[in-house]
Each structure stands twice: as C-alpha cells, then as structure tokens.
C-alpha cells in the first residue's frame, strides 16, 4: 500500500494580472512507512505541494491519492485524521492567545477523542515536554518548545502521514538537531510516513530515504539518499545543489 | 512560624503563584495571565486615574439613593437658581429649584445605562459583520463592506438625529440610534484584523484539524479582534456620551424631568450668563467621564495589544 501518490500535479495561483504556475507536472510516490525529502531552493514549489495536499490551496489539477483515498476539492475530517502537517515557523503556527492545553484539547475534541486529559499528557511526554508546559501560552515558550507543541498537535489525531514543511528552518542550530532527532524517534515509534520539505540537504540526508529535487516547480530528479551520499546525482541542478551544500571542500571535484 | 511572619510569608507566595511561568491548571493559567495584564496596566498611572474615576462613577450610580442629599425630581420654586455652596445645596439648584448634585448623581445612572447598552450593541454588530466579511471574502465581503460605507458616509450625529426623529424621542431610541451609527468603524477594524489573521499558519493549522468556518471565526479570530475593539470602544465612549448628551441637548434623547446630563445642559443654557453653574456642572461631569474613558482606553491599548505579548 502506498502512502502518497501524486500524478501530473499542477498547482497555480491566480492573481488579477497573471497566473503563477507554482508546481508543474509533478509525479511522486511515497510508500507507506517511507520518508521522502523534497529539496530545492525557495520558490521552487516544495511547500506548495504540501499545501495542495492538505487542501489549503484549492487551485490544482492532476490526481492526488493519500492512503488509498483519492482527493477531490474538499477534504473530509477522516482525511485530517490520517494526514497532518507541521509548519515551518513555530512563531506563526500557534495561536497567540491559546495555551498549549487549549491547542491540544481543541484538536482532540475536533477529532472526537475521549480521555482528553490523559491523551494531552501522553502527547506532551511524546514530544519531550513535561506536564509543566501544559498550561503555558506560546509567549512563555522558546522556539524549540513551540515546535514541539506544533508536533504534538500534528500527532494528536494519530495520523499515518506527517507532512513536514521545513520544520527546523526557523530554529537555531542547537535546537534543530533536537527536533530532527525527535522526529526520527517519533517516526519509528508511531510507524509514520514522512514527506519532508527542506532546502537543507544535510537535514534531508539525516531524515529520509528518498530525495526528490525540485527546480522551478518541477521535479528534476528522484534518487535514494545513498546515491546522494556517494555524490553521484545525474541532473546538473542536483549536482549544483549538492556542491553548494558541501561548500568549498568540493570545489576542485 | 511566628504570627508576625505569617502575613509577610503569605504575600510572596500568592504573588509567585500568580506570576509563575509554569501554571498547574487551566484556571491557574487564566488567572495568572490576567494578573500579569493587571500589573502592566497598573504601571500606567493615567490609565489608573481613568479607571478610578469610572469605578467611582459605577459606585455612585449604584448607591445613588444613599448618596443623593435630595430627591432629584422635587421642585422648590422658592429656592430656584441658588449659587454654589448654598446651605443644603452644595452645587446649587436649577431653574426649578432642584438640587443639582442629586441630579448629577442620578444622571450617572442614565449615562452608564447609555454607555453600557451602546457598548454591548455596536461593537458586537461590527465584530460580527467585519469578521464574516473578512473571513468569507468574495461577494459577501463586497456587500457587507458597501453597506458599511453607506453608514460611514453620513455624519454620525446627523444620522442619529434622523433615526431618533423616525423612531421617536426617548432614551432607548437614542441608544439604538447611536448604536446604528457607531458600528461601521468596528466592522472596518474587525475586517482589517481578520484579513491579517485569516492566512496565518495557526488558522491553517486548525483548518487541518477539520474545523469549520464558524468555529474558526468565533474561537480563533474573535479573541484576536476583541482586544483592539475594546480599546476602540473605550476611546469611542467619550464620543458616545457626547452624542447622547447632544441628543439630550436637542431634546431628542432623555425627556424632562429625567436628570440626563445633556438635557441638564440644555435646560441651563437659558441662564448661562447669569447662572453659569446650572449648565457648567453637568458639562464638567461629561468632560470628566469622557476623559476617564479616553485614559482607560490608552492604558488598555498598551495591555491588550496582541502584537506586543509575543517575544
């Protein structure tokens, strides 16, 4: 069974003057339990794919299938129980007036869970926050703690698939590693499927088995991480991306 | 622990309970964040001054029968137009010999009545129209905002006059008229706030939990709009009191013998050159309460602005 299938996906944004094609003819398969990274520079359409998948961008064509369910214009509540997303900026993804407790209990209630108290404390333990964080407001939390709350919120409906939209790019370096390790652990524990967007090849190399390289809205190459480690991407853009991430060391290569 | 130490030992304990960064329950968190807001509000001495005046106004309105030295409606034509500090009438008497202090005290009730009713109707209507227009967008937005524009196009007092003239004079109709003319600015503010909030990640995040538009508007957008509306309402209160007084002055608000402050000015106008206090004292009362609301609004803006409480 496959986790995510995208067939000839096109996503565009209509502005009064022009139409911007953000994603062009993208086909991608993510098997269940697999972790796939989408890399590319900013503006290459990586995040747009995630937003189209979750139904936040209604202007798309092509076919999308998630966990055996074909996606139309509307997403069912059932869909959101299977697919959740962690946003890029933890400073923007938590409601400034809702405490951690409110965020999680509302999520759990919307998905029709019982035993909300017990589930909240389990979730907080899962993401490495103690029960003392339960009643804090976002402004009382650091960036890393906020992202942990956002991850707890995404885990609350017990999804099979987690979409990660550059989950560490807004955090400072020391915290990035913690969050990435947390995500790796959670994936093992809960048997999750990850589709992760990043512009950082090192992050994707750490987290994923497959890498899809995007440029200007198109996927130019899909390769296993091992292949990238051996420094043999085929497409010139992937090579360029890899070289720039390795820095001066590979300049003579 | 000795008896002397107990009160000193207790004080820091409840303070630290309220100032904690790690609340232990839902209510604890709520109380603590209220207390922290109160602390930052208390630091603003002008706003505290406004708050004290308004608390006094509320107390005066509640205990009017106990505080007023005379019945505000009893006439005593032998004692008409007595100056300030007359025996038994500290603030003098008006043209029918009624005690001005008592009338001012009872007038506080009417002022509060108007202010509270308008404050309940206008911002709620504006909030509803503005957030729906901003969140739904499209033709709903266009229609609601053009209606708002039509209301905004008229000068407020002129529109209120037209409404009162149509509905009939009286204090309830004055309240309705003022509310009908007061909601459009709130709708504009609420719409502008909604437009900045609707595309934010935390709204996307709750959409991903399957929340519908009704829940998003009432639970997620309203709490963020309300603080700027509260500020705006307190700043507008002065205008509302003045509009009510203006209607009273023109004879379209509270009807005699009701001790509404605007109506009292209107009555005193005839004698203003010879007996200045009859019109001036209710004018001072209006001035003081308007000023208090303005100061309070300024202070609340500092405390409630959601843009400030992030790190």
Contact (Cβ atoms closer than 8 angstroms) between residue B221 and residue B211: no
Radius of gyration, alpha carbons of chain B: 24
pLDDT tens, position by position, B13-50: 788 888 777 777 888 888 888 888 888 888 888 889 99
Contact (Cβ atoms closer than 8 angstroms) between residue A212 and residue A37: yes
The beta-carbon neighbor of B306 closest among A96, A106, A111 is: A96
The beta-carbon neighbor of B204 closest among A56, A99, A106 is: A56
For A133, nearest residue in chain B (alpha carbons): B22
| Chain A positions with Cβ closer than 8 Å to B | 51, 54-56, 75-77, 80, 84-85, 87-89, 91-99, 101, 106-107, 110-111, 132-133, 135-140, 150, 153, 157
Q: Is the pLDDT of residue A229 over 80?
A: no
Q: How far apart are CA A166 and CA A86, in angstroms?
A: 8
Of A92, A82, A94, A95, give the one whose Cα is nearest residue A55. A82
The dihedral formed by the CA atoms of B10, B14, B17 and B20, expressed in degrees to the nearest 10: -100
The residues, any chain, with a CB within 8 Å of residue A7's CB and separated by 6 or more, are A27, A62, A63, A64, A65
Q: Which pLDDT belongs to residue B305?
A: 64
Cα distances (Å, whole numbers) of residue B293 to A220, B112, B239, B289, B300 = 63, 12, 10, 6, 10
pLDDT tens, position by position, B196-228: 999 899 999 998 888 889 999 999 999 888 888
Contact (Cβ atoms closer than 8 angstroms) between residue B121 and residue B128: no
- Reading the block at residue B309, the tokens are 């409480």
- Reading the block at residue B186, the tokens are 């709130």
Going by DSSP bridges, is the β-strand pair A35-39/A210-215 parallel, antiparallel, or unpaired? parallel
Going by DSSP bridges, is the β-strand pair A83-86/A193-198 parallel, antiparallel, or unpaired? unpaired
| Set of chain A residues whose Cβ sits within 8 Å of the Cβ of B220 | 95, 98
* d(CA A143, nearest CA chain B) in Å: 10
Q: Would the CB atoms of B29 and A99 count as touching at under 8 Å?
A: yes
Say how many CA atoms lie within 13 Å of B172 toward its Cβ.
Answer: 2
Between B13-27, B133-147, B152-166, the lowest mean confidence (pLDDT) is in B13-27
Q: Would the CB atoms of B23 and A97 count as touching at under 8 Å?
A: no
Q: How far apart are CA B285 and CA B61, in angstroms?
A: 13
Q: Is the pLDDT of residue B147 over 80?
A: yes
In the three-class reduction of DSSP (H, G, I as helix; E, B as strand; rest coil), residue A109 is classed as: helix
Q: Look up the pTM and report it.
A: 0.81
Q: How far apart are CA B155 and CA A26, in angstroms?
A: 57
The beta-carbon neighbor of A110 closest among B210, B223, B309 is: B210
| CATH 3.40.50.300 is the classification of domain A2-250 | yes
| Set of chain B residues whose Cβ sits within 8 Å of the Cβ of A138 | 310
How does residue A247 score in pLDDT terms, banded at 50, 70 and 90? low
**Residues 192 through 211 of chain B touching chain A, CB cutoff 8 Å:** 200-202, 204-211
Q: Would the CB atoms of B224 and A138 count as touching at under 8 Å?
A: no
Between A94-108, A147-161, A167-181, the lowest mean confidence (pLDDT) is in A167-181
pLDDT tens, position by position, B222-279: 988 888 888 888 888 878 888 888 888 788 888 878 888 888 888 888 888 888 888 8
- B159: preceding bond cis by omega (within 30 degrees): no
The beta-carbon neighbor of B207 closest among A56, A133, A136 is: A56
Q: Is the pLDDT of residue A249 over 60?
A: no
Q: Would the CB atoms of A135 and B310 count as touching at under 8 Å?
A: no
Q: Would the CB atoms of A138 and B210 count as touching at under 8 Å?
A: no
Contact (Cβ atoms closer than 8 angstroms) between residue A25 and residue A9: yes
**Average of per-residue pLDDT values in chain B:** 85
For B308, nearest residue in chain A (alpha carbons): A139
Alpha helices in chain B (DSSP H): 5-19, 26-42, 45-62, 64-67, 100-136, 138-153, 156-167, 171-198, 201-207, 213-215, 222-249, 261-268, 277-304
- When the candidates are 3.20.20.70, 3.40.190.10, 3.40.50.10800, 1.10.3720.10, the CATH number that belongs to B44-304 is 1.10.3720.10
* ipTM (interface pTM): 0.85
Q: Would the CB atoms of B33 and A137 count as touching at under 8 Å?
A: yes
Q: Which residues pair with A197 in a beta bridge?
A: A38, A165
Listed by start position, the domains of chain A span: 2-250
Between A76-80, A141-145, B293-297, the lowest mean confidence (pLDDT) is in A76-80
In the three-class reduction of DSSP (H, G, I as helix; E, B as strand; rest coil), residue B244 is classed as: helix
Contact (Cβ atoms closer than 8 angstroms) between residue A228 and residue A240: no
What number of other Cβ atoms are within 10 A of residue B255's Cβ? 13
| Set of chain B residues whose Cβ sits within 8 Å of the Cβ of A157 | 209
Q: Would the CB atoms of B205 and A87 count as touching at under 8 Å?
A: yes
Q: Which pLDDT belongs to residue B303?
A: 79
Mean pLDDT of all residues in B180-192: 92
């Amino acid at each position: 069974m496959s986790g995510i299938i995208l067939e000839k996906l096109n996503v565009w944004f209509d502005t009064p003057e022009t139409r911007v094609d953000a994603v062009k003819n993208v086909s991608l398969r993510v098997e269940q339990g697999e972790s796939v990274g989408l890399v590319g520079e900013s503006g290459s359409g990586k995040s747009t794919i995630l937003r189209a998948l979750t139904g936040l961008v209604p202007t798309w064509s092509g076919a999308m299938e998630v966990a055996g369910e074909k996606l139309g214009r509307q997403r069912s509540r059932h869909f959101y129980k299977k697919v959740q997303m962690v946003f890029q900026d933890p400073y923007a993804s938590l409601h400034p007036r809702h405490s951690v407790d409110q965020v999680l209990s509302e999520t759990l209630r919307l998905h029709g869970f019982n035993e909300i108290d017990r589930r909240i404390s389990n979730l907080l333990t899962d993401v490495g926050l103690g029960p003392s964080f339960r009643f804090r407001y976002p402004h009382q939390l650091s960036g890393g703690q906020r992202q942990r709350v956002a991850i707890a919120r995404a885990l609350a409906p017990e999804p099979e698939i987690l979409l990660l939209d550059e989950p560490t790019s807004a955090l400072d370096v020391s915290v990035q590693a913690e969050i990435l390790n947390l995500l790796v652990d959670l994936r093992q524990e809960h048997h999750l499927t990850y589709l992760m967007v990043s512009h950082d090849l090192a992050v994707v190399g750490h987290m994923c088995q497959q890498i899809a390289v995007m440029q200007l809205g198109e996927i130019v190459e899909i390769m296993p991480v091992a292949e990238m480690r051996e420094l043999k991407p085929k497409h010139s853009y992937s090579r360029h991306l890899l070289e720039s991430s390795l820095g001066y060391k590979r300049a003579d290569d | 622990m000795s008896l002397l130490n107990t009160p000193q030992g207790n004080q820091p304990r409840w303070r630290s309970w309220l100032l904690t960064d790690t609340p232990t329950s839902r209510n604890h968190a709520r109380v603590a964040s209220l207390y922290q807001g109160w602390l930052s509000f208390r630091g603003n001495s002008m706003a505290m001054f406004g708050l004290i005046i308004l608390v006094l106004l509320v107390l005066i309105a509640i205990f009017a029968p106990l505080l007023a030295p005379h019945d505000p409606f009893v006439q005593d034509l032998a004692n008409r137009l007595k100056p300030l500090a007359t025996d038994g009438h500290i603030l003098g008497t008006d043209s029918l010999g009624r005690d001005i202090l008592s009338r001012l005290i009872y007038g506080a009730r009417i002022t509060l009545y108007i202010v509270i009713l308008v404050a309940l109707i206008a911002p709620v209507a504006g909030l509803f129209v503005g957030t729906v227009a901003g969140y739904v967008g499209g033709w709903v937005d266009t229609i609601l905002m053009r209606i708002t524009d039509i209301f905004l196009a008229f000068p407020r007092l002129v529109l209120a006059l037209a409404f009162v003239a149509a509905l009939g004079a009286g204090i309830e109709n004055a309240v309705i008229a003022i509310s009908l003319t007061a909601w459009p600015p709130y709708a504009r503010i609420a719409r502008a706030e909604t437009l900045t909030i609707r595309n934010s990640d935390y709204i996307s995040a709750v959409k991903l939990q399957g929340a519908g538009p009704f829940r998003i508007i009432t639970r997620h957008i309203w709490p963020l709009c309300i603080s700027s509306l509260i500020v705006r309402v307190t700043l507008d209160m002065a205008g509302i009191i003045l509009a009510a007084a203006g209607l009273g002055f023109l004879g379209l608000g509270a009807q005699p013998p009701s001790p509404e402050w605007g109506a009292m000015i209107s009555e005193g106008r005839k004698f203003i050159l010879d007996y200045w206090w009859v019109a001036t004292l209710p004018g001072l009362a209006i001035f003081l309460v308007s000023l208090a609301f303005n100061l309070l609004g300024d202070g609340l803006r500092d405390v409630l602005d959601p843009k400030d409480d992030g790190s």
